[in-house]
Amino acid sequence: MSEASASSLDALLFRALMEKSADAIYFKDTQSRYLRVSNRMVGSFNQDHPSQVEGKCDTEFFAADHAAETLKNEQAIMKSGLPQLNAEEVETWPDGSITWASTSRFPLYDGEGKLIGVFGISRDVTDQKIAQEQLELAQKNLIEQEKKSAVSEFAGMIVANMGSSTVEILQAVDRASQLLAGARNNPEAISNAQEELREIRHMAKRLGDLMKITGV
Q: Residue 7, SS3?
A: helix
pLDDT at site 120: 97
| 200 three-class SS | helix
Where do the structural domains in the chain lie, given as residue ranges? 3-124, 132-214
* Exposed / middle / buried, residue 175 (Cβ in 10 Å: 0-12, 13-18, 19+): middle
Q: What is the pLDDT of residue 146?
A: 73
H helices of the chain, in order, are: 3-20, 39-44, 64-80, 126-183, 187-214
What is the predicted pLDDT for the residue at 144? 81
pLDDT of residue 133: 87
Per-residue pLDDT tens digits of the chain, which is 216 residues long: 666 677 789 899 999 999 999 999 999 999 999 999 999 999 999 999 999 999 999 999 999 999 999 999 999 999 999 999 999 999 999 999 999 999 999 999 999 999 999 999 999 999 999 998 888 888 888 888 877 776 666 556 555 555 555 556 656 666 666 666 665 667 776 677 667 667 766 766 666 666 565 555
Whole-structure pTM over 0.85, yes or no? no
Q: Which of 190, 189, 194, 196 is nearest to 169 (CA)?
A: 196
Q: Which amino acid is at 17?
A: L
Supply the pLDDT for residue 207: 64
**The pLDDT value given to residue 112:** 94
Question: What span, in angstroms and rounded, lies between the C-alpha atoms of 14 and 12?
Answer: 5
Q: What is the pLDDT of residue 140?
A: 86
Report the alpha-carbon angle 133-139-144, nearest 5. 125
CATH code that applies to domain 3-124: 3.30.450.20
How far is it, in rounded angstroms, from Cα 171 to Cα 164? 11
The answer to whether 59 and 102 have CB atoms below 8 angstroms apart is no
